[in-house]
């Protein structure tokens, strides 16, 4: 009976925790980091969130594409989304931006919180990252910049993979308070509809100088093909694809104390019963 009671208590403990974490790890992440010498978490400032694809922009509308020829002749053509007539298409009510007559689905431009005036006065973008100061003190970063790490293997004998951007040096100087988070957004294209970075195999990196040392802090190669509100998030141990602030949080935080009390009560009960 005592064993059965303990097993029952363990089952209660197991089901009392939130399963959001498990449900949001449905994207396989290759254990591949660019070959930098410093461990990721050892850097004073790191990337803690990456959004590669904000939700698509709702609203079906036509567009105009103009071409200017060498003789200064300007010819404009009107275009309509190729999905607008197909009510069953998932892109039926999505806005297009037309480039060369081709529809490029538009992403929402998000206005971001965690504003840091000296980094970006009004952070916004269709793609964005969050950078976090892990230090208990204020840090002043110089030559800060954001780059993309390219994993391009040179097909020459005995030549290892080359990583573009490893020696990239930025031009922004700014200060972060202890444990401060700053947002940094990216907008591409003439009307902000295009994406700056690919949605597959993208490793983003921040580079900066701090306390006499040059830092290059790169994420693993990430992918996001869902066009939703989930982002890649770093939780001091690993990267997880989940809703913002949806990392593991117990729904029943008192489960362990209650479990211990229950087990203790069972033991006391059976000891009393045996004495009787």
Confidence of residue 231 (pLDDT cuts 50, 70, 90): very high
**Top-confidence residue, 21 or 262:** 262
**Cα separation, 165 vs 48, whole angstroms:** 20
**Cα separation, 17 vs 33, whole angstroms:** 31
pLDDT at 249: 37
**Top-confidence residue, 120 or 185:** 185
Angle at the Cα of 24 from the Cα atoms of 22 and 240, rounded to 5 degrees: 95
**Top-confidence residue, 233 or 221:** 233
| 11-40 average pLDDT score | 44
**Cα separation, 250 vs 238, whole angstroms:** 18
Residue with tokens 């959004």: 51
pLDDT at 105: 86
Q: Is the pLDDT of residue 252 over 50?
A: no
Strand partners of residue 130? 49, 183
Number of H helices, E strands in the chain: 3, 16
Confidence of residue 70 (pLDDT cuts 50, 70, 90): confident
Task: Give CA separation, 269 vs 7, 88, 111, in Å.
Answer: 16, 64, 59
**Tokens encoding 32:** 């591949």
**Top-confidence residue, 134 or 221:** 134
Dump strand ranges (E) for 110-171: 110-111, 124-125, 127-133, 139-152, 162-164
Lowest mean pLDDT among 5-9, 44-48, 84-88, 203-207: 5-9
CA dihedral 26, 32, 36, 38 (to 10 degrees): 50
**Top-confidence residue, 165 or 32:** 165
Q: What percent of the chain has pLDDT over 90?
A: 27
**Cα separation, 128 vs 120, whole angstroms:** 12
pLDDT at 196: 85
Residue 136 CB partners (closer than 8 Å, separation 6+): 178, 179
pLDDT at 182: 94
Task: Write out the H or E segment, with its range, that includes residue 262.
Answer: helix 255-275
pLDDT at 15: 41
Task: Tell me the per-residue pLDDT of 169-210, one tens digit each, with 9 for 90 and over.
Answer: 788 999 999 999 999 999 876 555 568 888 988 889 999 999
pLDDT at 66: 78
CA dihedral 32, 37, 41, 45 (to 10 degrees): -110
Q: What percent of the chain has pLDDT over 70?
A: 64
Confidence of residue 168 (pLDDT cuts 50, 70, 90): confident
**Top-confidence residue, 30 or 189:** 189
Instruction: Give the chain's radius of gyration (CA, Å).
Output: 26
Q: What is the mean pLDDT of the chain?
A: 74
């Amino acid at each position: 009976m005592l064993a059965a009671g303990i097993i029952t208590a363990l089952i209660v403990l197991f089901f009392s925790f939130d399963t959001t974490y498990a449900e949001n790890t449905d994207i396989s992440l290759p254990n591949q980091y660019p070959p930098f010498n410093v461990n990721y978490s050892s850097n004073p400032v790191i990337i803690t969130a990456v959004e590669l694809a904000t939700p698509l922009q709702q609203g079906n509308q036509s567009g105009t594409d103009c071409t200017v020829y060498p003789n200064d002749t300007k010819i404009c053509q009107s275009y309509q989304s190729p999905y607008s007539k197909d009510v069953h298409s998932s892109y039926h009510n999505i806005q297009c931006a037309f480039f060369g007559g081709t529809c490029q689905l538009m992403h929402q431009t998000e206005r971001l919180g965690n504003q840091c005036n000296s980094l970006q006065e009004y952070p916004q973008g269709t793609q964005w990252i969050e950078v976090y100061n892990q230090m208990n003190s204020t840090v002043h970063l110089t030559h800060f910049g954001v780059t993309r790490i390219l994993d391009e293997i040179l097909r020459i004998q005995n030549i290892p993979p080359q990583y573009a951007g490893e020696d990239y040096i930025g031009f922004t100087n700014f200060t972060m308070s202890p444990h401060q988070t700053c947002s940094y957004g990216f907008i591409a294209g003439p009307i902000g509809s295009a994406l700056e970075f690919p949605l597959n195999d993208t490793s983003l990196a921040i580079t900066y100088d701090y306390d006499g040392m040059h830092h290059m802090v790169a994420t693993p190669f990430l992918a996001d093909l869902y066009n939703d509100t989930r982002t890649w998030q770093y939780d001091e141990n690993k990267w997880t694809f989940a809703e913002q602030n949806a990392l593991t949080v117990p729904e029943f935080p008192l489960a362990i104390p209650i479990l211990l009390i229950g087990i203790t009560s069972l033991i006391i009960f059976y000891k009393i019963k045996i004495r009787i």
